[in-house]
Every structure is written in structure tokens, then in C-alpha cells.
Amino acid sequence: MLPLVDRYLFSEVAKALLAILITLMLIVTSMLFLRTLEEVSLGALNANLVLRFLGLQLVRDTSTLLPPSFFLAALGALTRLARDSELVALNACGIGPRRLYRALLLLALPVALVTGWFALILQPWASAGIAEIRLAQKDQATQVAGLQAGRFYVEEDGQSIIYVGSIAKSRELERVFILSRQGKKPILVVSDSGHHRLDQKTGDHLITLTDGHRFDGNAGEGDYTIGQFREYQLRIDGQGPEPTQVKKNSTTPSRTLWASPDPAAQGELQHRIAAPLAIFTLLLIAVPLVAISPRQKTTGRLVLAFLAYFTFFNLQQLAETWLENGTTPLWLTSFWYQLLVVALVYLVMLPETPWYRGLRERFRQRAPTG
């Protein structure tokens, strides 16, 4: 059984962590959901895959939400205890920063394990699932250059309008309507069936219609003609050759990255390791950023906490980019920013530590008086 004080500190921070994590998850979920619906409306994603696609994105991003959630929870819970003078009472009873660190460490250990599980195992799995969905959507007829069944597709500034009634998984098209105004006279093509194919070399979309009719010109004019065809082909410009398989460091298992000497692979691996490691690093700077006594100034500590928070995660991106580009050597790793932030915070807070005040008092006493 844990001591009563440790259990109390543990529960306070854990409740704050749960509340902050749920709030961040709701915010991220709403943002990802809106982006997913936008992709569905543009025809880039099948509506039947919305929930699976959204779930994979949440699993992928969870490891990046846990470290800031833990830092904000520890900072918020300790600040509340300090505001209610509970930390002063604990300090008067001999329960100082060491006990605070111990109680927070009991919570940091399981949180770091969960974060490591998400970052090292679930994150590459979710990233691979997302990449497979995107690749499958490009390869299937559920997305034909942004064309979606039951909707009109306009290209070339309105000069071409395409409508497809339904699209089967076998890339069969039904009830196709094409209106082109690119020439001197409009051309209308209708067909009950067709077929879609992707040109792997150019990335263009080839729509082939069968057994349809073509109407050239404006009805009622002398040059208006009606024709019948067996096969009619339309080419829609693509975005270059499509990838045949997914090869990204973000989708590569952590074991494979560990054995790779490539700086980009090592950068991705250290990005995943940085998530659970950040739990302990942020724990080290959370306790000194809290004003134990109500008499201590809290504004400066809050500003320092704000700067430390954003400096930490901005330096993380910078360190990982430098490692991947070869700017920093592999032996330096990309974790130096965590040590740098801890050192800067402790350096700024050094004048308020009892050790520094005692040392300064000794020098004052030894200083000769005039």
C-alpha cells in the first residue's frame, strides 16, 4: 500500500490527466472528423471507410497527446494544491519536492509504458493502415480523379462536365453523362456502361464508354448530328505515376528501424522513443515550475512553464529534422533538446532554490564589512 500522501497526489494528478486527455481527444477527433468528411466530399475517400480511417488516425496521434497531457495535468494539479496552501502544509510536515517527484513518478511509469506502446507498436501499424487505405482508394474506381458516384465532376474551368450514376468495385461505370464545350460546338456523350482504368505510367485516368450515343452541336441547328458508338474513350489528367506499394519510415516497424543505419530511419525511431521519454523529462520540470508558497510569484513561473512547453516541442521537431538531414551526427541523437530544456529551466529557477539561497547567505556572512 502506498502512503496516504502519495495516494492523494497520485489521484489528483491522475484525475487532471484523465480530464485533459479526454478534452484533447475530443478536440483532435472533431478536427480529424471534419478533415475526413472533406475528403469524402471530394471523392478522395469512400464513405464506408470513414470510421476505420478516423480510428486509425486517432491511434496514430495518441502517443503525441500523452506527453503534453501529462505535463499540463501535473502542472495544473500541483498549482491547485499550491493555491489551496496544501503544498505549504505538506512542506511544513517534511514532505518536500522529493515526495512530489516520487508520487508523480508512480503515475509517470504506467503513462510512459502506455505511450511507448502506442508510439513504438501501434503508431506504425496505424500509419500503415492509413497508407493502405489511401493507396487502395487511388487504385479503385471509388475515386476517379475526384469523381464520385451520383455527383457531377467539373474540370477545365467548367469546359467538361462528367456524371456517373454508380461505380462498382470492379471499376465498372453505369449511367455515364459527359458534356464537353472545349471545341467550337458542344459535344454530349451518354452511355449506360463504361470502364475505368488507371494509366500506371502517366497517372492519367482513362474512362472507356461502350454502346452509347454522341450528340454534336446545338439541337435545332443545321450542323447538329447524332451518332452511335461502340467504344468511346476519355482521358482525365492525373497527378503523375501512382505508387505501387507503401514504403515510408512512418509505416515501418520499430524493429526494422532499429537495424537500419539510414539517418531518416533513425530519426523516425527516435521520434517514437521521444514520446515516452518526454513523460519523465516533463516531470522533472513540472515540480520546480510550481510556486509552493502563495507568497511566491506565480506569474513568472507560468510564463516560464509556457515557454518551456512550446520550446520543448518546437526543439523536438528541429532536432529530428537535423538528424534526418545529417546536420547533427547520429551519436548525438535527437534527444539533446530534452536535456537542454531541463537545464534551462533549472538554471532560471536556480536563484529560488534553498541551496542557492543558503550559498548566497554564506558568501554574505563571509564578505568583509567596511
Mean pLDDT of 52-71: 93
Of 188, 212, 236, the last residue of a domain is 236
pLDDT class of 55 with cuts at 50, 70, 90: very high
Instruction: Verify that 255 and 357 share a domain, yes or no.
Output: yes
Say which residue, 263 or 153, is predicted with more confidence: 263
Residue 147 within a domain: no
pLDDT (tens digit per residue) in 105-158: 999 999 999 999 999 999 999 999 998 888 776 555 444 555 667 777 776 566
pLDDT (tens digit per residue) in 12-32: 999 999 999 999 999 999 999
Instruction: Verify that 119 and 17 share a domain, yes or no.
Output: yes
- Taking the whole predicted model, whether its pTM rises above 0.75 is answered as no
pLDDT (tens digit per residue) in 192-246: 888 877 676 776 777 888 888 888 888 778 778 888 888 888 776 655 554 444 4
User: What is the reported pLDDT for 71?
Assistant: 93
User: What is the reported pLDDT for 62?
Assistant: 93
User: What's the structural domain count of the chain?
Assistant: 2
SS3 state at 209: strand
pLDDT (tens digit per residue) in 294-323: 555 666 777 888 888 889 988 988 998 888
Residue 231, strand partner residues? 210
User: What is the reported pLDDT for 57?
Assistant: 93
Whether 61 has a pLDDT exceeding 80, the answer reads: yes
Among residues 60, 72, 170, the alpha carbon closest in space to that of 122 is found at 60
> From the CA atom positions of the chain, what is the Rg in Å?
31
Query: Which of 105-109, 146-150, 258-262, 263-267 has the weakest average pLDDT?
Result: 146-150
Task: Return d(Cα 254, Cα 118) in angstroms, integer.
Answer: 11
Of 175, 207, 236, the last residue of a domain is 236
User: What is the reported pLDDT for 141?
Assistant: 41
Return the percent helix, strand and coil in the chain, to nearest 5. Answer: 60, 15, 25
Whether residue 269 contacts residue 248, with contact meaning beta carbons closer than 8 Å, is answered with no
Of 236, 262, 282, the last residue of a domain is 236
Largest CA distance in the chain: 116
Mean pLDDT of 48-53: 87
User: What is the reported pLDDT for 320?
Assistant: 86
Instruction: Verify that 106 and 194 share a domain, yes or no.
Output: no
SS3 state at 69: helix
State the amino acid at position 5 in one-letter form: V
**Domain interval for residue 190:** 152-236
